[in-house]
């Protein structure tokens, strides 16, 4: 699953994806039967989706966006407000993602077609994230109501409806939420992997490498970057909706700078030049946070994670996964060379 995203997937890739997909569906019944373990692993799946949205934009489109947490929070809040007002979750699920993608399209249009430099684009997405966080925190008064839903300011909304199975009205169980999160992560990964071998994806990678050359070949780089920005916003919104469903709670912290920084750490640790890397990075960092947070060193957690990040950057400049794969490949070539 860690093959070069610019190449066409081999038959073995399809086999691995299929096996992982089947394993994810069967896991809560045979492999991970403890509910607490399912909950802990489910959140890794959800946050890995958020990391994927960042790695796709940053690693393949060359756009460092701090706005992924803005889309993450907007997706979660939009689903919550729609579901509580409409008393229906399936439409709310897709509508929340659609609304967020529309917002990403409008924001991206003004930034990308305004020919902002990469650094200013990153700054504006950071400002948008801060605006959302501050705005939501200031909605604690009784007058801040959308339909019948109070936003509750920094206290958040604690009554996020669970997803229902369409046409049955039955709420998803813990097993169902686990399977849904895992399957959606696998499908999004596979979809992005296949997208990158299409003409759109190849042009996108070409823009990252040399924008001027791509434009001289007759491609409108702004249109491709806007498309990538909207796709990244949609994936982040999907993660936000799933986070609200997993937690049955949404709060302004979904928009926070802490979350935005965490996403960058996940991507850097795993490797932004791959799609699997950020998933691995998210799992490693979340595992360390969960384990160390329950130990006596919990107060030193930010420092420990910072040291881990520094070590990864120094030892594996392309990220942990590409570094390990490259090291194994080098060792294998040396062994084969010695053998021959």
Residues 111-132: pLDDT tens digits? Answer: 999 878 888 898 999 999 999 9
- Model confidence over 88-114: pLDDT tens digits? 999 999 999 999 999 999 999 999 998
Q: Which of 235, 232, 175 is nearest to 26 (CA)?
A: 175
Residue with tokens 């369409």: 166
What pLDDT is stored for residue 300 in this prediction?
67
As a whole number of angstroms, the distance between CA 33 and CA 200 comes to 41
Q: Which of 155, 179, 151 is nearest to 242 (CA)?
A: 179
What pLDDT is stored for residue 3 in this prediction?
44
If you ran DSSP here, which 8-state letter would residue 295 be given? S
Collect the ranges in the chain with pLDDT lower than 50: 1-3, 340
What pLDDT is stored for residue 1 in this prediction?
47
Bridge partner residues of 171 (DSSP): 164
Domain range summary for the chain, segments of one domain joined by +: 11-256
What DSSP string runs through 223-236?
A: HHHHHHHHHHHHHH
What pLDDT is stored for residue 181 in this prediction?
95
Q: What angle do CA 321, 17, 73 make, to 5 degrees?
A: 70
As a whole number of angstroms, the distance between CA 248 and CA 244 comes to 5
Alpha-carbon separation of residue 320 from 117, 273, 332 (angstroms): 29, 11, 18
């Amino acid at each position: 699953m860690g093959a070069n995203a610019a190449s066409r997937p081999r038959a073995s890739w399809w086999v691995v994806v299929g096996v992982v997909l089947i394993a994810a569906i069967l896991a809560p019944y045979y492999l991970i039967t403890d509910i607490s373990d399912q909950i802990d692993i489910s959140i890794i799946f959800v946050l890995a989706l958020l990391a994927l949205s960042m790695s796709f934009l940053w690693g393949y489109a060359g756009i460092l966006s701090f706005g992924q947490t803005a889309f993450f929070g907007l997706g979660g809040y939009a689903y919550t407000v729609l579901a509580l007002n409409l008393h229906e979750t399936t439409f709310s699920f897709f509508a929340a993602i659609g609304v967020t993608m529309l917002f990403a399209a409008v924001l991206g249009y003004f930034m990308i077609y305004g020919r902002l430099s990469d650094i200013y684009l990153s700054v504006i997405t950071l400002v948008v994230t801060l605006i959302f966080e501050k705005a939501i925190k200031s909605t604690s008064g009784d007058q801040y109501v959308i339909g019948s839903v109070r936003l509750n300011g920094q206290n958040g909304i604690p009554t996020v409806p669970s997803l229902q199975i369409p046409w049955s009205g039955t709420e998803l169980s813990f097993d169902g939420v686990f399977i849904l999160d895992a399957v959606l992560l696998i499908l999004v990964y596979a979809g992005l992997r296949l997208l990158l071998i299409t003409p759109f994806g190849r042009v996108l990678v070409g823009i990252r490498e040399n924008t001027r050359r791509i434009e001289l070949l007759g491609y409108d780089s702004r249109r491709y970057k806007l498309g990538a920005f909207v796709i990244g916003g949609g994936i982040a919104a999907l993660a936000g909706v799933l986070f609200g469903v997993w937690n049955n709670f949404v709060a302004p912290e979904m928009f926070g700078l802490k979350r935005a920084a965490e996403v960058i750490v996940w991507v850097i640790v795993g490797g932004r030049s791959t799609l699997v890397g950020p998933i691995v990075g998210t799992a490693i960092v979340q595992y360390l946070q969960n384990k160390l947070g329950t130990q006596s060193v919990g107060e030193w957690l930010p420092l420990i994670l910072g040291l881990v990040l520094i070590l990864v950057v120094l030892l594996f400049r392309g990220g942990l996964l590409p570094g390990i794969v490259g090291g194994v490949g080098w060792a294998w070539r040396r062994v084969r060379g010695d053998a021959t």
